[in-house]
């Protein structure tokens, strides 16, 4: 296989992964270079204590970003592991009370597959379908809850559409019924204000690489309250309260802490920036006929915009957009060739789903990048429609 062309690219796939911040990289390389960081954090000698101090400092930085106590955070390899630990671990923790779980059909595969694994163990899983805007109504959730329901899992920001759920309102329904509430916040931590101290949330998953940290590290928040807990999926030493044993990845955890610290100071300005880019993109598409926004236009994270174009075929459109890097769906499912199950759940046809493009941008995206992508997109849609007239969705 030949290496990809190294010419200029325009990266608009921030929902898949974000560029690592220079200050985060410096924090990580310092851990790899400094002799003071060579020690195993589990060791009691001075090198071990210094390494453990760095991990504790990172945990404190993340705790400040989330508005929680540092003792409520468990480091993982990313959001997928955090989702699995939350869902499977909490289900097993509460199995003696009942075996019913509620989730949403538009969740990330890390949530849906974890629920599917529990179904094979005898759990009953209810999947709520959102409305055509991708929103889950409190009424739909209330109707799905049963006396034996033990866990509800609903994501904060959808990774394909950017739809923003009303987590506080949905969480109150769960708290009133003593049902554990898990939130996959991979797309919102570091980008939108989150205060788990004010939210009725019991478990929250995140990953560093969605907000300018390194790939390969994440965390799970576990509320410190009666009836909330998880059974570990891995077994070994006493690290991470025995919930995630193994020698901690010091440099990665330090990078996560640095990303959290930077996000705490930049979140407000970053959000204003992506809102401007969001409006610039949609304004540039206003004159193109047959364009449909997928997901809510009123309740969304502006850094993700999902658009379907009538009369074009998705794979051809993706190729025609290069060197613009965008996605036709979630990163974990982008090579399957199947229409997005998220867009299908919103009522889109196969053709509409296959013609969808997800634009996502962030801190390092420039207005020129959006303008370049707009020119490529409009030209590509126009040309593909001319080559295959009458193919409107």
Active site residues: 332
| Rounded Cα–Cα distance for residues 341 and 334 (Å) | 11
Taking a C-beta distance cutoff of 8 angstroms, is the pair 299, 164 a contact? yes
| Rounded Cα–Cα distance for residues 373 and 282 (Å) | 12
| Rounded Cα–Cα distance for residues 117 and 233 (Å) | 13
Cα torsion 213, 215, 217, 221 to 10°: value is 60
Taking a C-beta distance cutoff of 8 angstroms, is the pair 248, 75 a contact? yes
Taking a C-beta distance cutoff of 8 angstroms, is the pair 177, 145 a contact? yes
- Identify the burial level of 117 via C-beta atoms within 10 angstroms of its C-beta, where 0-12 means exposed, 13-18 middle and 19 or more buried: middle
| Rounded Cα–Cα distance for residues 181 and 262 (Å) | 28
Q: Supply 124's token pair.
A: 């009953």
CA angle, 229 then 232 then 235, to 5° = 150
| Rounded Cα–Cα distance for residues 203 and 229 (Å) | 9
| Rounded Cα–Cα distance for residues 256 and 270 (Å) | 18
């Amino acid at each position: 296989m030949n290496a990809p062309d190294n010419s200029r690219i325009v990266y608009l796939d921030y929902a898949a992964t974000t560029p690592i911040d220079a200050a985060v990289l410096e924090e990580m390389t310092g851990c790899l270079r400094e002799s003071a960081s060579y020690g195993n954090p589990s060791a009691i000698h001075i090198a071990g204590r210094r390494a453990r101090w760095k991990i504790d400092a990172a945990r404190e930085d993340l705790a400040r970003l989330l508005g929680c106590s540092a003792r409520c955070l468990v480091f993982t390899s990313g959001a997928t592991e955090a989702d699995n630990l939350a869902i499977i671990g909490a289900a097993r923790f509460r199995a003696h009370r009942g075996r019913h779980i509620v989730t949403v059909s538009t969740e990330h595969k890390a949530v849906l597959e974890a629920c599917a694994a529990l179904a094979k163990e005898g759990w009953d899983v209810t999947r709520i379908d959102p409305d055509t805007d991708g929103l889950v109504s409190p009424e739909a959730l209330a109707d799905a809850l049963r006396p034996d329901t033990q866990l509800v899992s609903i994501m904060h920001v959808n990774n394909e559409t950017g739809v923003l759920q009303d987590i506080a309102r949905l969480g109150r329904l769960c708290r009133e019924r003593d049902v554990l509430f898990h939130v996959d916040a991979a797309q919102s931590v570091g980008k939108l204000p989150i205060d788990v101290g004010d939210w009725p949330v019991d478990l929250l998953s995140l990953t560093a690489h969605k907000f300018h940290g390194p790939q390969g590290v994440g965390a799970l928040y576990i509320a410190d309250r009666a009836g909330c807990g998880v059974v570990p999926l891995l077994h070994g030493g006493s690290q991470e309260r025995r919930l995630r044993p193994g020698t901690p990845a010091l440099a990665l955890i330090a990078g996560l802490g640095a990303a959290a610290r930077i996000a705490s100071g930049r979140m407000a300005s970053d959000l204003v920036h992506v809102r401007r880019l969001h409006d610039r993109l949609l304004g540039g598409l206003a004159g193109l006929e047959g364009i449909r926004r997928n997901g809510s236009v009123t309740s969304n994270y502006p850094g993700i915009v999902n658009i379907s174009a009538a009369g074009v075929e998705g794979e051809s459109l993706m190729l025609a957009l290069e060197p613009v890097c965008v996605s036709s769906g979630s990163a974990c499912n982008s090579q399957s060739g199947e229409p997005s199950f998220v867009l299908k759940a919103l009522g889109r046809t196969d053709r509409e789903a296959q013609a969808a493009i997800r634009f996502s941008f962030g801190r390092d995206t420039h207005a020129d990048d959006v303008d370049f992508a707009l020119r490529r997109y409009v030209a590509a849609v126009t040309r593909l429609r001319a080559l295959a007239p009458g193919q409107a969705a």
